[in-house]
Structure 1
Amino acid sequence: MDLQYSDSDRDFRQKARTWLAANVPTTRRPANGHTSAQYDRDWQRKLYEHGWAGVAWPKEFGGLGLTGLQQVLWYEEMARARAPHYINTTYVALMHAGPTLIMRGTEAQKAFHLPKILSGDALWCQGFSEPNAGSDLASLKARGTIDGDDIVVSGAKMWTTDAQHADYQELLVRTDPDSQRHKGLTWIICDMKSPGIDIKPIRTMLNDEHINMVFYDDVRIPKSNVVGEINGGWASALATLSLERGLGFIGDQLELYERVGRATDMAGKLRLEDGTLAIDDSSIRQKLAALKADALAIRAMTLADIAETDRTGQPGPKGSMMKLLVTSAHKALSELVGDMMGWDFLEFDGDRTSHPWTYDYLWSWVFSISGGTNEIQRENIADRVLHLPRAR
């Protein structure tokens, strides 16, 4: 792999750095409520109006059509500038709903939804997990009954991030009542303003209402909203999940190096209970060095994963490896900072800006579950990457 930057790559990095320095929001993102969603819409609108929306999307669908390496440079500069990246209400739309439509949607679906996603006019949420079908997604029970030109949906979804702010949802339901496991599922675009949808926010230890229960009471969705084929939704779901577990976390992958650097700077200034600088503690130094090595290795794997995606046209199963490594490293870094900060680390009032390390520690537990638990990622790696025999 040639990791030398071309003149055009260096020019692109400088252009991105200059624009971000002048345009990154200076106001805090509200922690909760529709004002937080509006903050995300406004930031996405600014990216769109200045020609920075959809860096990974093909040009024919309104994106920038950047090379894989240029995508890495963009996200590195985003991390450097501490700019909002796609972890909030715009994430689902930009990082896997939109790309799933590009891969498997109809021309009408693409023409209607893709411009709204890029401009921030439409926010999306994901309706996959259920109360008894989280990690084991194939056991989902929410049903979709074919009725003329509609699919009538009944059931419930769980852990639905930002459902209360979303305009649309990528919804997975069972449309063949006699089917089992992966068969008989259908991926549908659900308008979240449809009659019969009831959203119940859930307050978490992060002191927010980021996730929700969503109930569907005979919600009618046109069959024209099916992405892929009726009863063939597992293929569309796998495309979505491969994006979520792979390139969907590219911002988090590349931000890790910056966060290790900030933790190292902190260690050079923060004094432990015995009065010594944290950086003078050999155990802390060793852990910081190991995390920096992990961050560099993750960056190299990110480049390799992007190169493979450029060759094949879509992410492969190695995205599970990236997801597992990134979530594990983020948690280890947060725990190390907690050890350095001591009691101060435990002070948290729900404000991410004033207590960023504590928030990141709490979020690391969510991070290890969302998009498939670490245990599921290990199963995927064993099955689809290492091709090990299944346990009996």
Structure 2
Amino acid sequence: MRPTWQERQGGQRRGIAHDGAMESLNSAAARTFRDEVRTFLDEKLTPELRRGARRGTSVFLHPDIAVPWQKILHAQGWAAPDWPVEHGGTGWNEIQRYIWAEEYARAHAPSLSPMGLKMVAPVIMHYGTSEQKAELLPRILSGDDYWCQGYSEPGSGSDLASLKLRAVRDGDDYVLNGSKIWTTHAHFANRMFCLVRTSTEGRPQTGISFVLLEMNTPGITVAPITTLAGEHEFNQVFFDDARVPVSGRLGAENDGWTVAKHLLTFERGGRYAPGLASHLALVREAAEATGWLDHDSNRERLAREAIAIDALRAIELAVLEGRGPADSVRPSMLKVLGTEASQRIDLLALDVAAGWDGPLDEAPDAIVTAMPKYLNNRASSIYAGSNEIQRDLIARVVVD
């Protein structure tokens, strides 16, 4: 008889209590570390930084908020807890990193742009030359470089392998022609990591290369895209005979698809529960101010989301112990659960906001941001591979 999927992942199926992780989180050492983190955040987070974070409508806060905060963290040595120590990481263990995520979210600290620290940096560490690592990683860590991602194109979104931005080799340069779209914060970024078409032979995936480029390169133009929320977060980026040094390529020519897949494991994975709990806390605060919680059905809706977050936290703690889902499934599963929980909380916030009849400048933060967050987060179940695709990837592992 074929073994079950659960048996192939490590034996008898387990529940989600995971007392071992809870004991670690509540150990004397963990409590001491939590106190240290909490004290630091209390001392360093100014009212302006907290307000900017609480009123953010996306993970991508304005650089005027995110970058100064990153420099404060960098001075403390805490800007990149997930990085290896040799590149400037903290050396914290998994429990400490989870405590950091929980306290960070609870304090409403500003989110840092993930494009540099969490996405391209791990890829540079894995595929970069010694020169690329020495030049780029310190500048990512300090916040001196601000990155954007050049993946999607008009007509090439979920089917990313169909991308057409051409990169023709000319001596020591690639000459780029085409465009990218939905490029978050390209109008702020000074660098981009970009997928380009270096060959049209064979399968589409085999003709893609991964290049790093500077946004002030002649021939690159950034055009704004205003969202339904009235915000300028996205852009279309045009390349007209833009010359990019071949030395900026990561990995081998025509092997960029492999590099991109490595990066996506960092874009999809993560710790969702702490941020969701912080988001729900702001909604609860607003609900109390409007009387929304006076209705039993509304209290039940809020409670259901709190329970869903607790369940997600239990899965994340199981991962810390090595008892969670398989590596091949984990990023997809957490991405689906985390993004869909966020969207449900956004709907709660809209309902709460409908009950506010006072001046907007006196409204709780969750009411001010309710509609922009809702509109912005509709895309979260699409980007980094739609949730339908993630479920398909999970199913392939489960039935294999």
CA distance in 2, matches of 1:130, 1:83: 33
1:284 to 298, 317, 337: 298
Determine the structure 1 residue equivalent to 2:395: 382
Q: Secondary structure at the match of 2:187?
A: coil
2:42 to 4, 21, 35: 21
Are the equivalent residues in 2 in contact too, given 1:141–1:174 (CA < 8 A)? yes
Distance apart, 1:266 and its partner CA: 3.9
Q: Using a 3 Å threshold, how does the CA distance of structure 1 residues 307 and 192 change in structure 2: closer, same or farther?
A: farther
Q: Using a 3 Å threshold, how does the CA distance of structure 1 residues 282 and 24 change in structure 2: closer, same or farther?
A: same
Are the equivalent residues in 1 in contact too, given 2:165–2:176 (CA < 8 A)? yes
CA distance in 1, matches of 2:352, 2:238: 43
Q: Using a 3 Å threshold, how does the CA distance of structure 1 residues 352 and 217 change in structure 2: closer, same or farther?
A: farther
1:110 aligns with 2:133: yes
Distance apart, 1:16 and its partner CA: 0.8
Q: Using a 3 Å threshold, how does the CA distance of structure 1 residues 25 and 363 change in structure 2: closer, same or farther?
A: farther
Determine the structure 1 residue equivalent to 2:354: 342
Unaligned runs of 5+ in 1: 272-277
Number of equivalences? 370
1:259 aligns with 2:279: yes
Pairing of 1:174-323 with structure 2 (within 5 A): 174-247=197-270, 250=271, 252-271=272-291, 278-306=292-320, 308=322, 316-323=328-335
CA distance in 1, matches of 2:131, 2:325: 27
CA distance in 1, matches of 2:317, 2:216: 40
Q: Secondary structure at the match of 2:47?
A: coil
Are the equivalent residues in 2 in contact too, given 1:227–1:236 (CA < 8 A)? yes
CA distance in 2, matches of 1:92, 1:263: 27
1:7 aligns with 2:28: yes
Determine the structure 1 residue equivalent to 2:94: 68
1:128 to 151, 167, 173: 151
Q: Using a 3 Å threshold, how does the CA distance of structure 1 residues 25 and 99 change in structure 2: closer, same or farther?
A: farther
Q: Secondary structure at the match of 1:182?
A: helix
TM, length-normalised to structure 1: 0.86
1:102-159 CA-to-partner distances (Å, cap 9, x unmatched) read 1221111111111001101001000001111111111111111122222221111010
1:49 to 75, 90, 111: 75
1:12-47 CA-to-partner distances (Å, cap 9, x unmatched) read 211111000111132154989xx9323322111111
Determine the structure 1 residue equivalent to 2:3: none
Q: Using a 3 Å threshold, how does the CA distance of structure 1 residues 133 and 347 change in structure 2: closer, same or farther?
A: farther
Distance apart, 1:68 and its partner CA: 1.8
CA distance in 2, matches of 1:346, 1:369: 35
Q: Which amino acid in structure 2 is aligned with residue 323 of structure 1? A: K
**Runs of at least 4 residues off by over 6 Å:** 309-312, 345-349
Q: Which amino acid in structure 1 is aligned with residue 318 of structure 2? A: A
CA distance in 1, matches of 2:399, 2:157: 24
**Alpha-carbon RMSD:** 2.8
Distance apart, 1:50 and its partner CA: 1.6
Q: Secondary structure at the match of 2:81?
A: coil
Distance apart, 1:339 and its partner CA: 2.1
1:47-83 CA-to-partner distances (Å, cap 9, x unmatched) read 1012211111010011113222211111111111100
CA distance in 2, matches of 1:293, 1:209: 34
1:367 aligns with 2:380: yes
Q: Which amino acid in structure 2 is aligned with residue 290 of structure 1? A: R
Are the equivalent residues in 2 in contact too, given 1:144–1:175 (CA < 8 A)? yes
Are the equivalent residues in 2 in contact too, given 1:242–1:317 (CA < 8 A)? no
Distance apart, 1:306 and its partner CA: 4.9
CA distance in 2, matches of 1:108, 1:261: 45
2:64 to 18, 32, 38: 38
Fraction of identical pairs, as percent: 36
Are the equivalent residues in 1 in contact too, given 2:209–2:252 (CA < 8 A)? yes
Are the equivalent residues in 2 in contact too, given 1:125–1:169 (CA < 8 A)? yes
Distance apart, 1:95 and its partner CA: 1.0
Are the equivalent residues in 1 in contact too, given 2:173–2:243 (CA < 8 A)? yes
TM, length-normalised to structure 2: 0.85
CA distance in 1, matches of 2:135, 2:38: 32
